[in-house]
């Protein structure tokens, strides 16, 4: 049986190039995301910024209060 080694080697070469570029682009995206990501997003704000929400003890909420807090959570993400 005849095996075309030239075509096989070209296919392996293209697969290796694809894997190499995939690893390269993954590392580039990881580095860029680490550069633009804040160090600690939950730290106390500096300057004139205020932390808006603060932790409060668990309390019995009415349905309307719970609905309002849930809508605020969905809207503001806090």
Closest-CA residue to 44 (of 30, 33, 54, 56): 54
Q: Which two tokens stand for residue 66?
A: 């719970």
Q: Mean pLDDT, the chain, as a whole number?
A: 84
> What pLDDT digit, counting tens, does each position of 51-67 carry?
666 666 666 778 888 88
State residue 47's pLDDT score. Answer: 79
**Range 53-59 contact pairs with CB under 8 angstroms and sequence separation of 24 or more:** 53/78
Cβ(51)–Cβ(45) under 8 Å? Answer: yes
Query: What's the predicted TM-score (pTM) here?
Result: 0.48
Cβ(14)–Cβ(40) under 8 Å? Answer: no
């Amino acid at each position: 049986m005849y095996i075309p080694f030239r075509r096989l080697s070209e296919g392996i070469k293209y697969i290796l190039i694809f894997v190499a570029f995939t690893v390269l682009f993954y590392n580039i995206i990881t580095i860029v995301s680490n550069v633009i990501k804040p160090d600690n997003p939950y730290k106390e704000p500096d300057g004139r910024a205020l932390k808006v929400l603060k932790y409060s003890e668990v309390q019995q909420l009415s349905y309307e209060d719970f609905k309002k807090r849930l809508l605020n959570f969905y809207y503001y993400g806090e």
